[in-house]
Structure 1
């Protein structure tokens, strides 16, 4: 398993320790930052991806018309933290209304493992139930009122920030960490 550390360009890692199988970086100007490499995909395996995100997921439960129909729950990551490993030729896209959101799904099995949300067109919404087991530590679900989209976006404190690119990436192999 790989663990990445994401800091602002001015940040320096003070130390790295292994805690309960997770690597943690500490930064003097920022709070503890922790990211893991999740892998996942659709049901048939044609679409596979990896994504760097916290092991503690903030998942949105949206009640807009399409999310209600497909029971969409998702967490948001910046575009530069997502890599499609295989299956581009198997992905179909559905759009409606503003056509900003791109609802992608596997043309073989029909599963939507990721999509481009209207709220964060510069990122991806990842379906946590499509992640492979072993990298998620906890899930917190937050209701998102998609039926009143404009009002919800205006009042949400930080949803647009969730897809801002991460400035710098440091990756270490967990097995190679040595603790004093």
Structure 2
């Protein structure tokens, strides 16, 4: 799988990150209570493929229900550019709209029924693997 370096961050610029991911993003649109309120769309990556470049001290975290998901957002502008999803606590969910332009080739959106989270996770065959570290077969390229 081809990987490219994407960069991005929050609105005010206090939080900046880089992430290695496919240029063809597989984005989830979830309808759970919090994703509905904040219109969360995200793609999932391994923690190994994510680097926070700046702003750790400018992040704050919100949790609820099971407290597995860590909804991190900028203290200044309130934008959640990435978070730790309940589905993949070993990875990050990144907001594609927080990426800098120029590295995304395509976006495929998949609806995820977060209102029935347990059943949806049971039925989904590949979501948990999306946050597993990439093997040596992946090729990293920069654009």
TM-score, normalisation: structure 2: 0.96
Say yes or no: does 1:74 pair with 2:61.
no
2:100 to 112, 129, 132: 132
Alignment of 1:15-164 (within 5 A): 33-164=1-132
- CA distance in 1 between partners of 2:2 and 2:134 (Å): 12
The count of corresponding residues between Structure 1 and Structure 2 is 142
Per-residue deviation at 1:113? 0.1
- CA distance in 2 between partners of 1:158 and 1:171 (Å): 22
> Deviation per CA, 1:3-32, whole angstroms, max 9, x where unpaired?
xxxxxxxxxxxxxxxxxxxxxxxxxxxxxx
Asked if the contact 2:3/2:141 (under 8 Å) is kept, the reply is no
Per-residue deviation at 1:167? 2.6
Greater radius of gyration (CA) = 1
Gaps of 5+ in 1: 1-32, 175-180
- CA distance in 2 between partners of 1:143 and 1:172 (Å): 29
Per-residue deviation at 1:173? 5.7
- CA distance in 2 between partners of 1:137 and 1:167 (Å): 22
- CA distance in 2 between partners of 1:173 and 1:120 (Å): 26
Per-residue deviation at 1:96? 0.3
Per-residue deviation at 1:157? 1.2
Distance 1:81-1:173 versus aligned 2 partners, 3 A rule: closer
Equivalent residue number for residue 19 of structure 1: none
Structure 1 SS opposite 2:27: strand
Distance 1:84-1:173 versus aligned 2 partners, 3 A rule: closer
Asked if the contact 2:24/2:106 (under 8 Å) is kept, the reply is yes
